[in-house]
Chain A
Amino acid sequence: MNIPWTPQNIITDRSKSLRALSELPVKKRALVRALCGGKGFASRMGTLGFVPGSIVTMMQNYGRGPVLVLVKNVRVALGRGEARKVLVEQLPEEQGKND
């Protein structure tokens, strides 16, 4: 379930509905594809389980303010700015249920 990520991949993947985590609706699942932002940010997020290939589930997203995301079975709150820097690919419903 790990999808290798390289900078080239991102560009080709644009067509495949890559979006910011902050745009992911509640209860939807997605694959983390890339982290934008500095090294420190990527390192902190990677530690918490936001690595390319991880599955995340949006628990709360009211369109403003922070979001709550389930990653590696842990609930992590992210400021909206931080959630914007995580690029994800939304998983279709049926695939989500089987995993």
Chain B
Amino acid sequence: MFITMALAGQPNVGKTTVFNMLTGLSQHVGNWPGKTVEQRTGEYTHAGQIIHLVDLPGTYSLTANSEEERIARDFILRERPDVVIVIINAAALERNLYLVAELLALPVRIVIGLNMMDVAKRHGAEVEPHVLEAALRVPVIPLVATYNQGLYELMDAALCLAKDRVDFAPNRPEIRPAHRPVLEEIRSLIAAKTPFPCPADWAAIKLLEGDAEITEMIRQAVPDEWEHIHALLKQHEDAALDVAGGRYEWIERMVRAAISKPKVGVITFTDRLDQVALHPFLGLVMLTGIFGLVFWLTYTVATPVVDWLDTVVISELAASTRGMLVAAPGWSTSLVVDGLIGGAGTVLVLMPVLIIFFAILGFLEDIGYLARSAYVMDRFMHWMGLHGRSFLPFFIGLGCNVPAVLGARVVGERRARLLTILLIPLVPCTARMAVIAFLAPAFFGERAALVTWGLVTLNIIILALTGIAINRTVFKGEHVAFIMEMPLYHLPNARTIGLFVWNNTWDFIKKAGTIILLFSALVWALAYFPSGHIQTSLLAQLGRWLEPLGQPMGLADWRMIVALLSSFIAKENTIAVLGILYGTESDLGLATQLSGALSPAAALAFLVVQMTFIPCVATMAAIKQEIGWRWTGFSVGLLLLLSLCFGILAYHVAHLVGL
């Protein structure tokens, strides 16, 4: 027998930890069909029975307020999993039981995993699982998922339910008396005609709740009675909040005996830390400090590994491959060594930086800090018509723009997400910073740190101004709501962080790796044909053709243009290409040569353009996947315009101040 179980739960209940503990590396990460929401599935074997486990998106309810909520309920209604395992947080019992109340209205068997028993105890709230189980008449298994406690019992209970070994006759919530007649009337109107797979009872409640998707579905299913139903709903507009209120009353009755109330006014560790972390000024200082630490850690730990990979692994590989291909035609050796190994090298060399960045990010997320950074930044994000949540993808973007674009899914509202994605390429990623870290000292010597600092500040200013401009013009200043739970701080879990790093890195290799490799081959071809020398190649011709564009910012050298164009593959390509173009002329180091090639003003313009230029091809592929071709085109056009304008501006300002 094939058994499917779904894992449901609100955000911040440790659902991911439970899923990771159960499935480990057997999990498969993908997207829900046709949706931009991550889907995770995995296998778990219990008592010889293979269980197919589907991790539903974390949702507060099952009303179609978001894509995640639609996915979760559609899966339960259409796929009818044998059992739904609901993970709830004992420290926020009532709020978490809201999802249980909604699930109990669906034709599905559920088992409750009462997680974070330890956290609840520390906050003075003792929960009795047996009492709760007796009240709900649903199996309740206490868990401490981070220590792998109770998971065996949880799966045991779920399997018993799936195999019909126990009865399932739960206590289901009812609507408040005031709205019972109207609910009954609507139910009888739609009873025979509610389309599969929705139960009529459930659809009637969702109509009262004002659920947009169900309303539309019923309107089409019962065109004759719709006017009547619509009038009833109009009359009972207050029912929506009443249904939610009724559920909370039911919950209160369910938990009354099971929970000993926490003492009022207890100042928890979370509240004490939040005094600083969420303070308008101190919170910013803390965030800046954490940023500094993130970068310091990332680069100090990663740089030696990157250097080793670059100088030892890649060059060894290139050399030995060249040796093996000695008999092959020249162009094929060049394709493999310069094109493919060079391309794969850029991916490989970035890995250590990304892994460390993701580890720190996973750590900050796991202990509960990341949500605080969104809170602190909310004020500033409002200038751009965004809210705190958009700050999270920007944060990720400092590591790599590719996961940042995908991470913009946390934003929710379509318009805010779109704007966030359009702005992400202006967040300087590790690869861009690596280029600046090499070129700034070459051009500006002792003043490199100041220039780097200035460039990053300029990028933030450009990002903010662009955000404000797009919001005012294209989106006409629509308002978006900032509503976000601040989880309790807790100790990090190594397994959760490990899997976070693994999934993100593997995702990057799959997405970026293949695209970078493909485009590396293409750019190699442009740089090789027709003559076999880059100086006379198609790429060089393209660079010369575009030279007039560089003129207004003092970049009348086609080699600089080519270096910029090649950064489209991967940002750090800029250095490699400059190395090829300048390196052949003399034995002087690239840094020395570059400092002589450009005036300081032109060098500054080049760095500004490099920081604001179109993103790498992997980022662009991610953008296209998330928002489609039209907006990707808009993004490219916008960034080309921005880099050109600010490049020229930087050149002239630098001249004015006498650089």
A→B interface (CB under 8 Å): 2, 4-7, 35, 39-49, 51-54, 59-60, 62, 64-66, 68, 71-79, 81-82, 96-97, 99
10 additional A-B residue pairs with CB within 8 Å, beyond A62-B280, A66-B378: A5-B238, A40-B65, A44-B65, A52-B241, A53-B245, A62-B279, A71-B95, A72-B94, A75-B274, A75-B488
Verify B484–A47 contact, CB threshold 8 A.
no
Contact of B485 among A75, A79, A81 (CB under 8 A): A75
Contact B264–A77 (Cβ < 8 Å) = no
Contact in complex: A77, B244 (CB < 8 Å): no
Q: How far is the CA of A49 from the CA of B91 in the complex (A)?
A: 15
Contact B483 A42 (CB under 8 A): no
- In the complex, what residues of A have CB within 8 A of residue B486's CB? 68, 75-77
User: Quick one: which of B61, B240, B379, B388 contacts A64, CB cutoff 8 A?
Assistant: B379
* Of A40, A62, A74, most B-chain CB atoms within 10 Å: A74
* Residues in B neighbouring A35, C-beta threshold 8 A: 241
Give which listed residue, B94, B241, B270, B379, contacts A66 with CB less than 8 A.
B379
Query: Once the chains are docked, how many angstroms separate the CA of A71 from the CA of B486?
Result: 11
Counting contact residues on chain B (CB < 8 A from A), the size range is 35 or more
Chain A residues whose CB sits within 8 angstroms of the CB of B163 once the complex forms: none
Instruction: Give the distance in Å from the alpha carbon of A64 to the alpha carbon of B211 in the complex.
Output: 33
Chain B 216-254 against A: per-residue CB contact (8 Å), 1 yes, 0 no?
000000000000000000000010110111001100000
With known contacts A51-B248, A79-B382, A74–B210 Cβ distance under 8 A: no
CB of B485 within 8 A of CB of A76, answer yes
Q: How far is the CA of A52 from the CA of B243 in the complex (A)?
A: 11
Can you report 13 A-B residue pairs in the complex whose CB atoms are below 8 A from each other? A35-B241, A44-B481, A44-B483, A48-B485, A65-B280, A66-B379, A68-B278, A71-B95, A73-B91, A73-B95, A74-B95, A75-B488, A77-B374
How many angstroms from the CA of A52 to the CA of B271 in the assembled complex? 26
Query: CA–CA, A74 to B89, complex, Å?
Result: 10
Give the interface centre of B94, B240, B244, B485 by most chain A CB atoms within 10 Å: B244
Write the nearest CB–CB distance from B498 to chain A, whole angstroms.
28
Report yes or no: A76 in contact with B244, Cβ–Cβ below 8 A. Answer: no
Residue of B63, B98, B178, B388 near A77 (CB, 8 A) is: B388
Q: B271 contacts A59, CB within 8 Å?
A: yes
Min CB–CB distance B251 → chain A (angstroms): 9
Q: Are A81 and B481 in contact, with the CB atoms below 8 A?
A: yes
How many interface contacts (CB-CB < 8 Å) are there between A and B? 129
Chain A residue with the shortest CB-CB distance to B61: A47
Q: A77-B482, A79-B382 are in contact. Are A46 and B274 (CB under 8 A)?
A: no
Residues of chain A lying within 8 A (CB to CB) of residue B92: 72-74
Of the candidates A44, A45, A79, A97, which one forms a contact with B378 in the assembled complex, judged by CB atoms under 8 Å apart?
Answer: A79
B95–A45 touching, CB < 8 Å: no
Given contacts A66-B482, A72-B95, contact A77 B375 (CB under 8 A): yes
Complex CA distance for A76 and B279, rounded to whole angstroms = 15
Q: How far is the CA of A60 from the CA of B279 in the complex (A)?
A: 8
- Give 8 nearest A-B pairs by CB, closest first: A79-B482, A46-B244, A47-B61, A65-B379, A51-B245, A72-B95, A75-B486, A39-B210
Q: From A73, which residue of chain B is reached at the shortest CB distance?
A: B92
In the bound complex, CA of A39 to CA of B63 (Å): 12
Does B633 reach chain A (CB closer than 8 Å)?
no
Query: Which of B241, B265, B371, B488 is most buried by chain A, counting CB atoms within 10 A of its CB?
Result: B241
Given contacts A66-B378, A78-B483, A82-B482, contact A43 B244 (CB under 8 A): yes
Q: Among A46, A71, A81, point to the contact of B241 (Cβ < 8 A).
A: A46
Assess whether A7 is in contact with B61, with CB atoms less than 8 Å apart: no
Which of B65, B280, B374, B487 meets A47, CB within 8 Å? B65
B382: chain A residues within 8 A (beta carbon)? 79
Alpha-carbon separation in the docked complex, A48 to B11 (Å): 11
CA distance A59 to B273 in the complex (A): 12
B18 at interface by CB-CB < 8 Å: no
Min C-beta distance of A93 to chain B, whole Å: 11
A76 to B379: give the CA distance in the assembly, Å: 16
Check if B387 sits within 8 Å of A79, measured CB to CB: yes
Of residues 258 through 281 on chain B, the ones whose CB sits less than 8 Å from some CB of chain A are 262, 264-265, 270-271, 274, 278-280
Query: What's the least CB distance linking A66 to chain B, in Å?
Result: 5
Chain B residue with the shortest CB-CB distance to A98:
B264
CB proximity of A53 to chain B, nearest CB, Å: 6
- Is B125 interfacial (CB 8 A cutoff)? yes
Q: Decide yes or no whether B479 CB sits under 8 A from chain A.
A: yes
Q: Does B358 contact A (CB under 8 A)?
A: no
Q: Are A77 and B238 closer than 8 Å at their CB atoms?
A: no
In the bound complex, CA of A44 to CA of B243 (Å): 13
Chain A residues in 8 Å Cβ range of B270: 75
Contact B65 A43 (CB under 8 A): yes
Nearest to A81 among chain B residues (CB) is B479
CB distance from B421 to the nearest CB of A (A): 21
* Cβ-based interface call for B60 (8 A): yes
Report yes or no: A73 in contact with B125, Cβ–Cβ below 8 A.
yes
- Roughly how many angstroms separate A97 CA and B245 CA in the complex, as a whole number? 24
Set of chain A residues within 8 Å of B249, measured between Cβ atoms:
2
A5 to B248, CA, bound (A): 15
Contact string, B364-407, partner A, CB cutoff 8 A, digits 1/0?
00000001001100110010000110000000000000000000
Given A59-B271, A79-B382: A43 and B484 within 8 A (CB)?
no
